[in-house]
Amino acid sequence: MNPAMIPEGAHPLAATVARLVWLLPLLPLLGFLINGTLAMLGVAKIGPADPSANGGHGHGEVPGHADEHAHDDHGHPPRHKFAKIVSLVGPGVLVAAFALAVAIFAAMRGVEMEHPYLLTLFSWMPVGDLKLDATILLDPLSMTMVMVVTGVGMLIHVFSVGYMQDDPGYPRYFAYLNLFVFFMLLLVLGGSYPLLFVGWEGVGLCSYLLIGFWFSEKANADAGKKAFIMNRIGDFGFLVAMLLMFANFGTLDILGVAEQAAELPMGGVIATTIALFLFLGCTGKSAQIPLYTWLPDAMAGPTPVSALIHAATMVTAGVYLVARASGIFSMAPVAQLTVALVGAATAFFAATIGLKQWDIKKVLAYSTVSQLGYMFVAVGVGAYVAGIFHLVTHAFFKALLFLGSGSVIYVLHAAYHKTHNHDDAQDMRNMGGLRQYMPITFSLMWIATLAIAGIPLFSGFFSKDEILTSVFARISHSTLADASLLGMPGGTVLMIVYGLAVASALMTAIYMARMMLYTFHGPNRTGEGERPHLKEAPWVMTGPLVVLGALTAFGGWLNVPALLGAIGPVGGLEHFLEPVVGEAALRTTLGVAPHLPHSTELMLVGAAIFIAVAGIAFAVWRLKPAALVPRKDAPESTGIDRVLENKYFVDEGYAAAFVNPTVNASRTVLWKGFDAGIIDGLFVNGSALLARAFGWMGSQLQTGQVGTYAWVLLIGVITLLGAFTFR
C-alpha cells in the first residue's frame, strides 16, 4: 500500500462533490468572521449575564454566592441588537456544512475508498528538509468525525439559539462556537500532524474562550485558565512526539509517518516513545489521568458548550488521534497497554466520583471523563473501530444528556429569575419531580440514560459491549498479551483493564440512575414560588433533543455485532473504517480477526446486560429521592461520601504538590530574585541608566547653534571622504 503515490486527480473522489471538501472548514470560519464582526460592532454596555451563570462554580465554593449580574435588572435584559442575524448565521453555516458533509459522505459511499483522498491546498511551510503542505486528508475515519462534528454541532448550535439568545454576548458566543467548529474540522481533516496540531491548539483556544465566556466571574475565568494550562502540559507531549517523528521519519505527513512506522521493529524504542508522548497529548485534551481535573471545572461554560466541546467533540480528539496514529501505536504494545490501563483507571476513578456529585453538570462531566476512559481502553487494545463507534454513540447520548440538563437548568433559572431567588439552579437537591413539568426532556433523558448504562438495543449497549468483548478477546493471542508493562504480563494487565471497565459500567448505571431519580422523580423541591413557572423549554431547544434522542436510540445500528445479526446489517462502521485502521488492528491481533467462541461471547453480553440492569435496579432500590432536602438545608456529608464529593481531594493534592510550590518558587526566586533583582535591577534599570548617560552626553552636543551643527556635519563629511580616499 502506498497511498502517497496516488496522484491527486486520479482518486475516484476527485470527480465528485468531495473536491469541495475545503469548503467544510471554511463555512464555519465565515460564520466566525461575520459573528465576530457583529460582536465587535455591537459591544453591549452591560456585563455578561446568563441563564445558568451561577452554575459553574459547583456548590459550596462560594457560600451565599448570588449571581447579581443576572439579577441587577429584574426585567428582561434587552436582546443584542444583532441577535436576529446571528441566530441565522451561526447555525446556518453549520447546516450548510452538514449538508455538504452528507453530500460528500454519499459520494464516498459510491466509490471504492481503498486509498484516502488527499487534497493539497497550498504550500504551507517549506523549510529546509521539511516540506509541509496544507493538505486535507479525506478518508472514512475523518468522514466519520466530520459527520459527528457537523451533525451534532448543528443540533447544538440550534439549541444554543434558544439557550443563549438573551445573553448580551450572544454574537460573541456564536463567533467562538463557529471558530471552534472550524478548528475541529481542521483537526479531523488535517493531512499532516502539524496541521492537525493547529486544529488541536485551536479547539483548545476556543474551549478556553468558551469556558471563560462569563469571564466577569473570577471562578469562570480561572476554570478557563486551568483548562488551558492543563492542555498545554499535554500539548508538550504532542509537540515532542512530532519532533521525534520528524527526526526519525523525516516527514510529518500522516500517511508518510504511518508508512514508515510499519517498517519499525515491533515494540521498538522509537515507536514506543513516540506513541507515549502522543498519548500524553491525549491525556490533556481528552481529560485522562493525570490531567483530567480541568474537564469538570470546564462546566463553568454555557451548557451547550459543555455538550459540544466538553462531551461530544473536542475531548474525543485524543481518541481520534490514537486511531489516526494507529500505525505507530500498533507497533508499540507497551504504549498500547499504557493507554488501555490509563483509560480503564480513569473510567473507574471518574465513575466513583460521579456517584456522589450533587451538581447535575458535574455528574455528567465525570461521566464524560469515565466514558472517554472507555474509548481509550478500546483504542488502546487496538480495537479502533470499537473506540470510534463508542465515540460516535457517546457524542449522541452525552450531547443529549447535556442539552437535557441545559433545558432543566434553563427552566429552573428562569423560574428563580421570576421569583428573585438566588439558589443554585444546577444542584440536584434543588430539583426533583420535574417529570410532570418537563415530560419531553424527562423521557428523552431516560433514553440517554438507558443508552449510557448499556441497556440492550440502545446505542450505548452496542458500543460498550464491543469494547468489553474486544478487551476480552485480546487477553490471549495478541501482541499485547505477549508484551509486558512494568513487569506485569500483558494478559494480566488486560484482565485488570477488563475488571475495571466492568466495574465502572456498573457504577455508570448507578450514578446515571441516581441523577435521573433526583432530578425528575420524587417530590419537587424547588419551592412554592417557583413551581408555577416550571414548564417545558421552547421548541428550538427541545427539537434538537428529539433528534438526538432518535440517534441515541438507534445509533447502535451503525455497527451491529455478528451475534445480533438478526436485527440488521452486521458491522457497517467496521467495513467503512476498514481501509484506515484495519491493517493496524490486525497487526495487534497477529494477523487474524479476533474471534471468541459463541458461548463465551453470549456469556459476556449477558454479564454486561446483567450489570446494567443491576446498577439501575440498585439505584432505584437504595436511593430515596423523597428523603432529600434542598441544598440550603442539607447537612455536611461525612466519611467516604465526603471524600467522593470532594473528588478525592485531587485538586487540593495537585495544588499542594505542584501549584503552590510553583507559585511560591515563582514568587521568591523568579519574581523577587530574578525578575525584580536581575532583570529589573540590572537589565532594565541598568540599561536605562546607560541610555541616560549616553543621552546626557548627546544633549551636550545640542547647543542649538546651527554653526556647531555645520561643523559636526563637515567633520563627518571629511571623515567619509577620507575613508574613500585612503581606501
The answer to whether 527 and 534 are in contact (CB under 8 A) is: no
- Coil, strand or helix at 266: coil
Shortest Å distance, C-beta 692 to another protein? 15
Spatial contact of 164 and 173, defined as CB atoms under 8 Å apart: yes
Distance CA 289, CA 341 (A): 10
Peptide bond into 77 cis (omega under 30): no
C-alpha cell belonging to residue 644: 467522593
Cell of 696: 546626557
- One residue of 2, 599, 700, 725 binding another protein per CB under 8 A: 725
Least separation, in Å, of the C-beta of 690 and another protein?
A: 21
**DSSP code string of 608-660:** HHHHHHHHHHHHHHH--GGG---GGGPPPP-HHHHHHHTGGGHHHHHIIIIIH
- Least distance from C-beta 722 to another protein, angstroms? 6
Cα separation, 258 vs 251, in Å, equals 10
Residues 705-724 that bind another protein (CB under 8 A): 705-707, 709-711, 714-715, 717-718, 721-722, 724
d(CA 102, CA 119): 18
Instruction: Choose one: 41-49, 601-609, 676-684, 697-705; the region binding another protein (CB under 8 A).
Output: 697-705
Number of residues interacting with another protein: please give it, by CB under 8 A. 17
Q: Which is nearer to another protein, 653 or 722 (CB)?
A: 722
Whose Cβ is closer to another protein: residue 649's or residue 711's?
A: 711
Shortest distance in whole angstroms from residue 693 CB to another protein: 18
User: Contacting another protein (CB under 8 A), which of 632, 702, 712, 716?
Assistant: 702
Residue with cell 474540522: 185
The DSSP element (H or E) to which 123 belongs, if any, is: strand 117-127
Minimum CB distance to another protein, residue 723 (Å): 10
Binding range to another protein, per CB under 8 A, among 101-109, 263-271, 300-308, 704-712 = 704-712
Which residues are CB-contacts of 129 (< 8 A; sequence separation ≥ 6)? 250
Give the burial class of 166: count Cβ atoms within 10 A of its Cβ; 0-12 exposed, 13-18 middle, 19 or more buried.
middle
Give least dist CB 687 to another protein, A. Answer: 23
Q: Which residue in the set 594, 704, 712, 716 belongs to the binding site for another protein (CB under 8 A)?
A: 704
Nearest residue (CB) to another protein, 688 versus 721: 721
d(CA 397, CA 403): 10
Return the number of the residue (1 or 717) whose C-beta is nearest another protein: 717
Min. distance of Cβ 706 from another protein in angstroms?
A: 5
Is residue 459 within 8 Å of 561, Cβ to Cβ? no
Give the CA dihedral 686, 687, 691, 692, nearest 10 degrees: -30
Question: What single-letter amino acid sits at 76?
Answer: H
List the x/- string, 603-642, binding to another protein by CB under 8 A. Answer: ----------------------------------------
Say whether residue 600 binds another protein (CB under 8 A).
Answer: no
For residue 705, the minimal CB distance to another protein (Å) is: 6
- Cβ proximity to another protein: between 638 and 705 the closer is 705
Determine the Cα–Cα distance for residues 610 and 614; give it in Å rounded to an integer: 6
Member of 669, 703, 712, 716 binding another protein (CB under 8 A): 703
Count of CB atoms within 10 A of residue 420's CB? 9
To another protein, the closest distance from the beta carbon of 717 in angstroms equals 7
Q: What CA–CA distances, in Å, run from 253 to 211, 508, 657?
A: 32, 39, 39
Least separation in angstroms between residue 707's CB and another protein is 6
- Cβ distance to another protein smaller for residue 677 or 695: 695
Whether the CB-CB separation of 443 and 451 falls below 8 Å is answered with no
409 and 360 Cβ atoms separated by less than 8 Å:
yes
Closest to another protein by CB, 670 or 717: 717
- Residue number with CB closer to another protein (62 or 714): 714
**Closest CB to another protein among 567 and 720?**
720
Q: CA dist 200 to 134, 194, 232, 315, 428, Å?
A: 15, 9, 11, 10, 34
Least distance from C-beta 710 to another protein, angstroms? 5
Q: Is the dihedral of CA 97, 102, 103, 104 positive or negative?
A: positive
Q: Name which of 567 and 715 has its Cβ closer to another protein.
A: 715
Contact 403, 543 (CB under 8 A): no
Closer to another protein at the Cβ: 266 or 717? Answer: 717
**Minimum CB distance to another protein, residue 725 (Å):** 5
CB atoms within 10 A of CB 341: 22
627/701 with CB nearer another protein = 701
Nearer to another protein, 649 or 709 (CB): 709
**Cβ-based neighbour number of residue 16 at 10 Å:** 18
CB 394 within 8 A of CB 375: yes
Q: Is 215 in a helix, a strand, or coil?
A: coil
Of residues 648 and 709, the one with the C-beta less far from another protein: 709
Residues that bind another protein in the complex, under the rule CB under 8 A: 702-707, 709-711, 714-715, 717-718, 721-722, 724-725
